[in-house]
Structure formats: structure tokens, C-alpha cells
Amino acid sequence: MAEGGEAERANPTISALFEEHRVFPPPPEFTVRANVRDRLLYENAERDLEGFWAEAAEGIDWFRKWDRVLEWSPPFAKWFVGGQLNAAFNCLDRHVRTWRRNKAAIIWEGEPGEQRVLTYGDLHREVSKFANVLKHLGVKNGDRVALYMPMIPELVVALLACARLGAPHTVVFGGFSPESLRGRINDAQAKVVITADGGFRRGSIVPLKQNVDEALAGCPSVENVILVRRIGEAVHMHFHEGRDHWYHRLMDEAPLQCPAEPMDAEDPLYILHTSGTTAKPKGVVHTTGGYMVGVSATHRWVFDIKDEDIFWCTADIGWVTGHSYVVYGPLANGATVFMYEGSPDWPDKSRWWEIIEKYRISILYTAPTAIRSFMGWGEQHVRKHDLSSLRLLGTVGEPINPEAWMWYQEHIGGGRCPIVDTWWQTETGMIMVSPLPGVTTTKPGSATFPLPGVRAEVVDEYGNPVPSGSGGYLVLTRPWPAMLRTIYGDPERYVSVYFSRFGPKVYFTGDGAKRDEDLYLWLLGRVDDVMNVSGHRISTIEVESALVDHKDVAEAAVIGRSHAVKGQAVAAFVTLKAGVPLSRDKADDLKTHVIEKIGALARPEEIFFTAELPKTRSGKIMRRLLRDIAEGRALGDTTTLADPTVIARLRTQYEENAES
Ligand code: WTA
């Protein structure tokens, strides 16, 4: 079956995956104390979907209660219609009225080793002041604010200050290039940019402010830049009088009180760009009410959060995982969040384990790619540390191979911690498929079942459910509160990308999946032109456009090739323009070009030069065949090729090249 084949090609390890028969029931001692102990939530959701989400919405404070839970005119959904609330109020004000005022909201450690603790009281004060700063600069309800920052507490302050005013934020990951930053700022038409003089990354300095200056050369909407001093003297930067302002200066003068703006449930909370199947990233729009209900409820259910926990989600706030499970979900729940600025191998490979021991982290949520790196580095880095505080482990971002799952469970979880493998996307806003740690029997490598209230199916290309054991497309067949509402500035793309392939009622995820005979879901990776490199979504087309933008390149085809640690690695097949000599450093030159255009995360691991690319008769490059070559597999169907000899030659050349 074509679509099954497509899905399997996305993750060739699937056959092995599917042979996995080990099962791990929830530990009874976990279940007794768990937030969710039985199947009641699933049953309630089946019985009355709206009633179920209405009950979940009781976990949020509303200024005005909603009139209707759901208005669904496919593919457009409105949740908690008529309700009013404020996301920052839910993360702060309602906690500071209780004993939680003096509870740690954020425990932070910087890469060089500094520590800061902000209680809910502290965070409430900083956010209120910073909201006044933004107001003073003319930011009002509905204005967009761009953030390009390191993982420091001020990033959380900035996010919540925007939410307090009802100004949608758009965070751009600090690893993106000035050009990517510019594209996102312009797409959102941001009025203010918040950044830092720089950030620390493996002992060196990321020149964030310099990148902002470069980006802003082409961003007419931006009026002001606010700069957090993170580095100080050690960084060179220009200060643009009139446009640039020091964060600390503005904060010195800011008044303490700033009421939280009542927002409609459907008012946008933020825009977050993600790669799609064209060169232009999509600005995914999340709104306030449904999103807050979705992330707070899933954070309670999936992570079993308790007041005494210290929750560490290792994602950068530049990605959706950081938005939903570093900031909005945990803080709405009054949890203590641990936040770390740096990377896992700096200054040495035991940094994370040292952190877990030092702060007594109880819940760790990270990506399979990190786990595979740790496996490669060896257990000795882990064994030196006492990880007995951990009680629950999570993963997200890509399929986890059973071997990595077992390693995580044994060496990090000490054999006692349940693992929640959570499947979701920027677009879904919240976790959609995951075990509930006190309820679900897990199988290594399977994300198990849709959460209560969520319905997922695996379908063939006509939208019919496939029998268990066959591959197909993963679709979501019911609306959910935290779903994206649109693509910013491009509502047609919302419909065409997500709700056309299988009709307006069925959300197409872009992922392949299988269901086994026990109905467990096994995710197989993307079936579209999106790569997943170290848990990050990168569009093949975006990298191709960066390559053809280089003066020497005539044509380029990019694929994600499976990679033992990163999940996928970017591989490029490039045809140079006639007359351009193939010099030794051409590949490096092109890699640098991609870094400059997009950012280091999109850097091709391998560039292969070829005189021709395999194309269909209508001129479409057949990436699928290139992937077969790069992964050393037998070639798939080649009948649609215009000239089958091209691919045969390419394979021989590629293999010779690999040998030499
Ligand atoms: C992949 C990250 C398998 C998937 C939250 C999805 C996963 C894309 C899992 C979204 C998982 C995420 N198992 N695959 N547990 N979680 N994915 O938007 O391909 O950065 O479509 O959101 O990551 O990536 P995004």
C-alpha cells in the first residue's frame, strides 16, 4: 500500500519497532498517589465531550464564564465562546493570592553556573512592571511583540507581560539566523523586539543583539528594541539611540501595578512559526481560552504534577514545547519550574545529572535525541550522580526507539519511573497522544493512546481507517481546545494544509503511524517534506531555497536521512551551475551559506554534488529515491522517472563516493 510504504520509509526502523512486545504496567505505588488513577476521564470524555472539556476548564480562572463550550463549523473551531480570562493572571495573580506567593515559580541556572530563584510573588511583580514598560512604549492589546532571547528568566517575564496586555508574542529561537528572524518579525508585523546583548552557548557567546541589528535593517514595523544585559562588557554591540532601550533601566522606572487585561477566550495569545512544506514558515496562531485549558489540563494529567514537584522540561522556549510546558502549563498549575540556559555537554557531559541531583528534580521531560546522545557518551556520566529524586520521565519531539526508551527507563529512571512518550505538534498546542502515568501500560517506542477527549485515527489515502498492523496517515477527528485557529495572515493555508486532504472535519497531522492489535499507536515520522532533525522541524524546501540562493548552485534537492543520534540528518544533492569548478571547500561554503540563511540547525550534514537529479516527467524532483540512495536501500518505484538512467548513475556515484 503506497501510503503505508511512504510512512515506513519515513522511519525504516519501524519493522523492528513493531516487533516490540515488552510491556510496563504503571507501578502500583505511582498509581495510588497519581492525579489520574483510573479510566474515568476517558469514559467521561466519550460520554459527553463538551461536558468533559467544560470540567477541565474549571481548572482555569475566568473573569467571565463562557456561554458555549464549542462552536464547530469545520474546519473552524471556537472554544469557550463568550468567556473572558487572562493567561498571565492564571499563571500569576491567582497564585499570589494563596500560600503560593512564596513558592518558587522558577528555579534557574545559567550556563556559567549562576542561580536565581523567582517566587510566584517575584514573578508577578516583574511581569507587572514589565507590562508597564511595554505599555509605556506604546504596546497595546493586539500589537505583536517579537522575542529573540536566551533561556533566562526575563524571557518568561517578557512572555507573560505580553499576555498580561493581550499583545500576542512571537518567539524566535535564538539559533535562527538574522534572515530567519527578519522573516518572522515581518510576517507578524511586530512593533517591539525583546532581546539580550547575547547568550551563552557551550562557553561561547551568541551575538543575539548583533543578529537583531542585522535583521532590523529590513523590518519597518519595529519601533523599539528592549535589551536584557546578559553578557555585559564581553560583548561588542551598537546601541541605537532612540530605538534601543536597556531592560534594567526601563524596569527601574516602571510602576508596580498593572492589571491583567480581560481577553476574549478566542483572542490570540501568541504566534509561533514552524516549518511547513514550502519555503515560508507558517505562523501558527494560538488563542487564549482553549489553549490555557488544554495545556494546564494535560500538564496535570500527563505529568501528574504536585505542589512538591520540581518540573524540568529541557526544551528551549523558542519551540512550542517550551511555550506549553515550560511556561503556560506549569505556571498555570502553580508548579515549580526548573530552567537551564545551556547545553547538556557543557562544561562536561554530566551537567544534567549534576543539576538533577543538586535541585532534586522530580520530573524530567526531554527529547529522544538527547537520550541517544547520553547513551553514546556512556553511563559513567550518569552513575556519578544521585538521581533518586526523579519519579516520572517524559519524551517528545520524535519517535523514540525502544533501545533508547529502555536506556532512559533503566539508567535515568532507575527502573522505577514511568515514561510518558508524548506525541503532539506546534499546531496542536498541547499533548495529544500519551500514556497517563498512573493508568497506562506502556510499550517501549509507542506513544500509546490519544488522551481523554482526543480522537486519533490511522487512515489510508482515502481517509478510511486501516486495519491494525498496517501503516497510514495519523489524523485527528475531533476538535480540541488548544488547536491552532489559523495561520497568521494566511487563513487559506490553514484550510489547505490541515483540513483539505481528508475533508474539513479531519485534521491531517503530516505524520505516518500504525496501530497494533492492542490499539497502541506507533508514530513513524513525517510523510511530507518536513524533516525532524534532533527533534526540530525543518522544511526540505526551505533548505533547498537557501542552497539555490547561492550564486554557484543551479539546483538542489534536500532530504532527511536517518541518523543514529539526531533521528534525521539533512542531506543535500546539489547541481552546480555550468562552468563552476568543484573545489574542495565548495561543500563547506554551501553549508555556511545555509547557516547564514536559516541557522545552524539547518546545516546539511552532507552535500553530494551531482550533474543531474532524478525527476518525474513533469519535472518534480523525486526525493523519495534520493532518500533510498542515502540510506542504502533498494530503490522504490522508479516508473514515473523521466530518465531512469539518472538515478542508476547517481546511486553508483554515491556509493563510490561513500567508499572513498
Ligand atoms: C514529531 C513538537 C513521534 C512529529 C511538540 C510531529 C513525534 C512533529 C513525537 C511536531 C513523539 C513530536 N513521537 N513523533 N512523541 N512528538 N513528534 O511542531 O513528526 O516541533 O509532527 O512539535 O514532531 O514537531 P513540533
One-letter-per-residue 3-state SS of 14-61 = HHHHHCCCCCECCCHHHHHHCCCCCCHHHHHHHHCHHHHHHHHHHHCC
- CA-to-CA distance for 117 and 153, rounded, in angstroms? 9
- Distance from residue 243's CA to the centre of ligand 1 (Å): 38
Grid cell, residue 56, equals 477541565
Q: With 0-12 CB in 10 A as exposed, 13-18 as middle and 19+ as buried, what is 462? A: exposed
Q: Is any atom of ligand 1 closer than 6 Å to the C-beta of 526?
A: yes
Grid cell, residue 298, equals 494535560
Residue 18: predicted pLDDT: 61
Grid cell, residue 471, equals 501503516
- CA-to-CA distance for 120 and 99, rounded, in angstroms? 10
Judged by DSSP in three states, 315 sits in: coil
Using 70 as the pLDDT threshold, list the residues of the chain that sit under it.
Answer: 1-19, 659-660
- Distance from residue 607's CA to the centre of ligand 1 (Å): 26
**Residue 535: which of 285, 320, 298, 294 has the closest Cα?**
320
Q: Is any atom of ligand 1 closer than 6 Å to the C-beta of 323?
A: no
Residue 496 region by backbone torsions, left for phi larger than 0, else alpha for psi between -120 and 50, else beta = alpha
- Distance from residue 327's CA to the centre of ligand 1 (Å): 19
Residue 16: predicted pLDDT: 55
Q: Is any atom of ligand 1 closer than 6 Å to the C-beta of 169?
A: no
Contact of 515 with 522, CB cutoff 8 Å = yes
Alpha carbons within 13 angstroms on the beta-carbon side of residue 484 total 29
Residue 12: predicted pLDDT: 44
Q: Is any atom of ligand 1 closer than 6 Å to the C-beta of 425?
A: yes
295, 423, 508, 540, best to mutate for ligand 1 pocket (most atoms within 8 Å of CB): 423
Q: Is any atom of ligand 1 closer than 6 Å to the C-beta of 274?
A: yes
Q: With 0-12 CB in 10 A as exposed, 13-18 as middle and 19+ as buried, what is 626? A: buried
Atom of ligand 1 at shortest range from CA of 510: 21
Which residue's CA is the nearest one to ligand 1's atom 25? Answer: 425
Contact of 461 with 515, CB cutoff 8 Å = no
**What one-letter code names the amino acid at 621?**
I
Neighbouring C-beta atoms of residue 594, cutoff 10 Å: 28
- Distance from residue 429's CA to the centre of ligand 1 (Å): 11
- Distance from residue 525's CA to the centre of ligand 1 (Å): 8
- Distance from residue 431's CA to the centre of ligand 1 (Å): 10
DSSP state of 619: S
Grid cell, residue 45, equals 470524555
Q: Is any atom of ligand 1 closer than 6 Å to the C-beta of 532?
A: yes
Atom of ligand 1 at shortest range from CA of 321: 5
- CA-to-CA distance for 108 and 114, rounded, in angstroms? 8
- Distance from residue 425's CA to the centre of ligand 1 (Å): 5
Atom of ligand 1 at shortest range from CA of 395: 15
Judged by DSSP in three states, 598 sits in: coil
Q: Is any atom of ligand 1 closer than 6 Å to the C-beta of 175?
A: no
Residue 250: predicted pLDDT: 98
**Residue 332: which of 22, 512, 92, 2 has the closest Cα?**
92
Give residue 167's Cα distance to chain centre.
Answer: 22
- The answer, yes or no, to whether the previous bond of 255 is cis (omega within 30 of 0) is no
- pTM score: 0.95
Contacts of 15 (CB under 8 A, 6+ apart): 8
Q: Is any atom of ligand 1 closer than 6 Å to the C-beta of 434?
A: no
Cell numbers 475533508 correspond to 503
- Distance from residue 15's CA to the centre of ligand 1 (Å): 20
- CA-to-CA distance for 595 and 168, rounded, in angstroms? 28
Is the Cα dihedral 391, 396, 401, 407 positive or negative? negative
Q: Is any atom of ligand 1 closer than 6 Å to the C-beta of 424?
A: yes
- The answer, yes or no, to whether the previous bond of 75 is cis (omega within 30 of 0) is yes
Q: Is any atom of ligand 1 closer than 6 Å to the C-beta of 396?
A: yes
DSSP string, 229-291: -SSGGGS-----TTTEEEHHHHHHH--S--PPPPEETTSEEEEEEE--SSSSPEEEEEESHHH
Which residue's CA is the nearest one to ligand 1's atom 23? Answer: 397
442, 523, 524, best to mutate for ligand 1 pocket (most atoms within 8 Å of CB): 523
Q: Is any atom of ligand 1 closer than 6 Å to the C-beta of 426?
A: yes
**What one-letter code names the amino acid at 542?**
E
Tally the residues of the chain. Answer: 660
511, 520, 539, best to mutate for ligand 1 pocket (most atoms within 8 Å of CB): 511
Cell numbers 514515473 correspond to 640
Residue 1: predicted pLDDT: 32
Contacts of 259 (CB under 8 A, 6+ apart): none
Pairing of strands 68-73, 76-81: antiparallel
Residue 508: predicted pLDDT: 98
- CA-to-CA distance for 125 and 102, rounded, in angstroms? 12
- CA-to-CA distance for 205 and 207, rounded, in angstroms? 6
Neighbouring C-beta atoms of residue 263, cutoff 10 Å: 26
- CA-to-CA distance for 276 and 510, rounded, in angstroms? 10
- Distance from residue 421's CA to the centre of ligand 1 (Å): 10
317, 537, 601, best to mutate for ligand 1 pocket (most atoms within 8 Å of CB): 537
Contact of 209 with 175, CB cutoff 8 Å = no
